[in-house]
């Protein structure tokens, strides 16, 4: 049996320590939140908690990851082992002393 949002909300309320968050909203935003919560059959608090949690999780995930198109990633990975020709650099380094790297 699938867990409903209301079941998850109820379980969260029973098991978690709570903090409150007060928001100031314009009337349009408040009305939109109320309608969205009604459509989903959850309280405004439950709806806001879920939406805010999802948004926060995306922000935190993006702080630790770089997102890019799969095709661009594949191209980047393919070029790592294949140096690009750099004739200007080769020319600039002609006659430069050899470096003794230890």
Domain positions in the chain are 22-82
Output Rg (C-alpha) for the chain, integer angstroms. Answer: 27
pTM of the full predicted structure?
Answer: 0.49
Q: What is the pLDDT of residue 9?
A: 72
Residue 43 burial (C-beta neighbours within 10 Å; 0-12, 13-18, 19+): middle
CA angle 60, 36, 44 (to 5 degrees): 75
Residue by residue, pLDDT tens for the chain (102 residues) are 567 777 777 776 666 667 788 999 999 999 999 999 999 999 999 999 999 999 999 898 888 777 789 999 898 888 888 878 888 988 888 888 887 777
């Amino acid at each position: 049996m699938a867990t409903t949002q209301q079941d998850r909300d109820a379980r969260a309320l029973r098991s978690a320590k709570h903090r409150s968050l007060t928001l100031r909203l314009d009337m349009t935003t408040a009305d939109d939140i109320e309608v969205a919560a009604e459509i989903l059959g959850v309280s405004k608090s439950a709806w806001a908690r879920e939406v805010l949690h999802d948004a926060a999780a995306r922000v935190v995930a993006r702080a630790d990851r770089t997102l890019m198109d799969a095709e661009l990633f594949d191209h980047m990975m393919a070029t790592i082992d294949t140096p690009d020709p750099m004739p200007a650099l080769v020319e600039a380094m002609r006659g430069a002393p050899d470096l003794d790297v230890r």
